[in-house]
């Protein structure tokens, strides 16, 4: 990691943007010891976040929100940054889904696109975790702001979200 990262543990939670402060507090409430860090550049894409952190793209636990068609429920898929999500596989678990626009994402999660954290949503989503994340020891997830991230293990992610671990990756034939 670069020296320009802001670390919520070292610099204080108050140094973080409001939405990232909220996530830092949620992590503390979960007993999560690792701090929220701010990337000097945006982490809106998995590649940008990985470059800023000096990790593999696969280690980015990206949060993708869909809208379930039958009831407009938010459906959160937490996928490896190296994977595209196979919407048919997601639908096999939750029913028919559609795309979620920026307004829906903000209303349902309380976060802007690019900063959607796996926890602490305004409306509790139906959540699925990409099984490919469990091949890794360490993950980075968005912490409520496009520049904010936090480190965790796949097991911690599953414990925090209570979500099932399933195959959601699009596999090219």
Taking residues 73-100, report their average pLDDT.
98
User: Is position 1 within any domain?
Assistant: no
* Start-to-end CA span in the chain (Å): 36
pLDDT tens, residue by residue, 6-38:
555 555 677 899 999 999 999 999 999 899 999
* Domain region containing 27: 6-166
Q: Using pLDDT thresholds of 50, 70 and 90, give the confidence band for residue 1.
A: very low
Q: What is the CATH number of the domain that holds 55?
A: 3.90.960.10
pLDDT at 2 over 80: no
Residue 159 pLDDT class (50, 70, 90 cuts): very high
DSSP class per residue in 78-127: EEETT--B-HHHHHHHH--EEE--HHHHHHHHSS-TT---SS--SSPPEE
The domain tally of the chain equals 1
pTM of the complete model: 0.91
In a domain, 49, yes or no: yes
Q: Are 92 and 73 in contact (CB under 8 A)?
A: no
Residue 170 Cα distances to 76, 88, 116, 166, 167, angstroms: 16, 9, 21, 12, 9
pLDDT attached to residue 163: 98
Mean local confidence (pLDDT), 124-153: 97
Once rounded to an integer, what is the mean pLDDT over residues 58-79? 98
Residue 48: per-residue pLDDT: 87
Whether 23 maps to a domain, the answer reads yes
Average pLDDT over residues 107-124: 96
């Amino acid at each position: 990691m670069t020296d320009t990262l802001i670390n919520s543990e070292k610099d204080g939670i108050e140094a973080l943007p409001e939405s990232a402060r909220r996530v830092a507090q949620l992590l503390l409430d979960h007993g999560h010891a690792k701090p929220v860090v701010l990337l000097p550049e945006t982490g809106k894409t998995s590649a940008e976040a990985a470059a800023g952190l000096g990790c593999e793209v696969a280690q980015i636990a990206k949060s993708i929100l869909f809208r379930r068609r039958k009831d407009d429920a938010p459906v959160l898929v937490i996928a490896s940054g190296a994977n595209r999500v196979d919407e048919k596989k997601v639908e096999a678990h939750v029913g028919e889904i559609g795309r979620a626009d920026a307004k829906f994402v903000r209303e349902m999660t309380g976060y802007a696109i690019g900063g959607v954290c796996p926890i602490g949503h305004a409306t509790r989503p139906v959540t699925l975790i990409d099984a490919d994340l469990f091949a890794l020891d360490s993950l980075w997830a968005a912490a409520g702001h496009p520049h904010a991230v936090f480190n965790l293990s796949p097991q911690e992610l599953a414990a925090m979200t209570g979500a099932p671990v399933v195959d959601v990756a699009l596999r090219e034939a």
